[in-house]
Amino acid sequence: MTHVVVIGAGQAGASLVAKLRADGFEGAVTLIGAEPVPPYQRPPLSKAYLLGEMAEERLYLRPTAFYADNDISLRLDTRVTGIDAKAKAVLLDTDERLIYDELVLTVGANPRMLPDAIGGGLKGVFAVRDLADADAMAPAFAPGKRVLIIGGGYIGLEAAAVAAKRGLQVTLVEMADRILQRVAAPETSDYFRALHERHGVTICEGVGLESLLGEEHVTGAKLTDRTEIAIDFAVVGVGITPAMALAESAGLTVDNGIVTDTQGRTSDPHIWAAGDCATCQFDGQTIRLESVGNAIDQAEAVAANIMGADKPYMPKPWFWSDQYDCKLQIAGLNLGYTDVYVRKGAEPDVQSHWYYRDNTLLAVDAMNDPRNYMIGKRLIEAGRSPDPAAITDPATDMKALLKP
């Protein structure tokens, strides 16, 4: 009997084991998670869950009974200490050795933390990555409290939105020239800067953190422009790094992620990888996608290939972010864009930004504009690039762009 062991009980791991069973895999399946809770959604942690609008059980991807009902051995609160690739064995912190036939790494990524030398180890300094993080910081989100958000990416902006909605005094610092600089066009940065400022958030761009202040608990922050501010706590949202330690110790090839071929295999033919920790091929480039959509799709592709499908994984990138009453939906990847075209809706908060590389449509950022998001997504997946003049013309029937 073939035994598939999956390390990492997040979105990718849960999707993979479910796909194996759905496709009729009859071998043994073991899913190992370091956390004491079953696989759950992570995006709501910095949104609805932190706002108190979602109970923990609603985070769970599937009812706990699903795993037993489908003969999946779910090993929670268990850490993997090593992989013996030659013996095809996984070493656990319980001193057990699990023998596998096929091994999958869906270990995700780790948040970048501030070094202790600048106050990263002080109490009241939080990251947003897992359920324990969200539970630890939730009591701090009380009206009137002063919070510093470090980092102007989507995680930082989502945390800022939650804090502002809860009535906190919010300051966000971003070392780059503008928020979202790494992932979005200036037009999208402008939209979200204005949105946050309307909700009372103070955004400081081109300003970094020099150090956090305090003895045991953080009490303030010194910024690179020499200003000092008093705070009650801080949230660090400066990105994530792929979890590669296990892969490296097992001798696998890594390069900004666990390197995989087009089917999801690592440099070891019996070890696979999927999700935030793994690379994939897109538009002739080796990339790593940090998104729920990719975690599901790549994991399901790996499951199919373990069962012999022999099909390459073709990413169809999509992302989303909820901030206040704004829903941002992104289709495609804007890598190498040369131009951005703005389509405005009937309401001021409705618009979409269309990224082109010369004459090729690459991606769409849609704010409160689900219809144009879906149209953009379908155009990108079909490899079609409408005339930008049609995109910006308010008289254009956008749905007609999908016609052959």
- pLDDT tens-digit readout, 62-111: 999 999 999 999 999 999 999 999 999 999 999 999 999 999 999 999 99
Structural domain tally of the chain? 3
For residue 266, the model assigns a pLDDT of 98
For residue 99, the model assigns a pLDDT of 97
Domain boundary, last residue among 236, 262, 295: 236
Is 319 part of any domain?
A: no
Is 313 part of any domain?
A: no
For residue 404, the model assigns a pLDDT of 79
> 160 and 18 in one domain?
no
283 vs 217, more confident:
217
For 307-324, what is the mean pLDDT? 94
With left for phi above 0 and alpha for psi between -120 and 50, is residue 366 left, alpha or beta? beta
- Cα separation values, 134 from 140, 152, 159, 250, Å: 10, 19, 10, 32
For 292-313, what is the mean pLDDT? 97
For residue 91, the model assigns a pLDDT of 97
**What amino acid occupies position 230?**
A
Q: What is the pLDDT of residues 51-63, one digit of tens each?
A: 888 999 999 999 9
pLDDT band at 129 (very low <50, low <70, confident <90, very high): confident
- Whether the pLDDT of residue 1 is over 70: the answer is no
> 227 and 247 in one domain?
no
Domain boundary, last residue among 236, 268, 291: 236
For residue 378, the model assigns a pLDDT of 97
Domain boundary, last residue among 218, 236, 254: 236
Is 316 part of any domain?
A: no
Q: What is the distance between the alpha carbons of residues 166 and 282, in angstroms, rounded to a whole number? A: 40
Of the CA atoms within 13 Å of residue 99, those in its CB half-sphere come to 3
For residue 188, the model assigns a pLDDT of 98
> 46 and 135 in one domain?
no
For residue 283, the model assigns a pLDDT of 85
Provide CB contacts within 8 A for 73, sequence distance 6+.
Answer: 28, 29, 30, 31, 67
Is 217 part of any domain?
A: yes
- Whether the pLDDT of residue 395 is over 90: the answer is yes
> 121 and 228 in one domain?
yes
CATH of the domain at 27: 3.50.50.60
Q: What is the pLDDT of residues 156-195, one digit of tens each?
A: 999 999 999 999 999 999 999 999 999 999 999 999 999 9
> 120 and 104 in one domain?
no
- Whether the pLDDT of residue 356 is over 80: the answer is yes
> 334 and 280 in one domain?
no
> 213 and 147 in one domain?
yes
Is 312 part of any domain?
A: no
> 144 and 70 in one domain?
no
Is 30 part of any domain?
A: yes
Is 287 part of any domain?
A: yes
> 359 and 254 in one domain?
no
For 379-401, what is the mean pLDDT? 95
Q: What is the pLDDT of residues 224-263, one digit of tens each?
A: 999 999 999 999 999 899 999 999 999 999 999 999 999 9
CATH of the domain at 336: 3.30.390.30
> 124 and 223 in one domain?
yes
- Identify the CA nearest to 364 among candidates 349, 381, 389: 381
> 207 and 168 in one domain?
yes
Is 253 part of any domain?
A: yes
> 275 and 185 in one domain?
no
- Whether the pLDDT of residue 50 is over 90: the answer is no
Query: What is the average pLDDT score of the chain?
Result: 96
**What amino acid occupies position 282?**
F
Other CB atoms within 10 Å distance of the CB of residue 286: 13
Residue 217, domain extent = 113-236
With left for phi above 0 and alpha for psi between -120 and 50, is residue 335 left, alpha or beta? beta
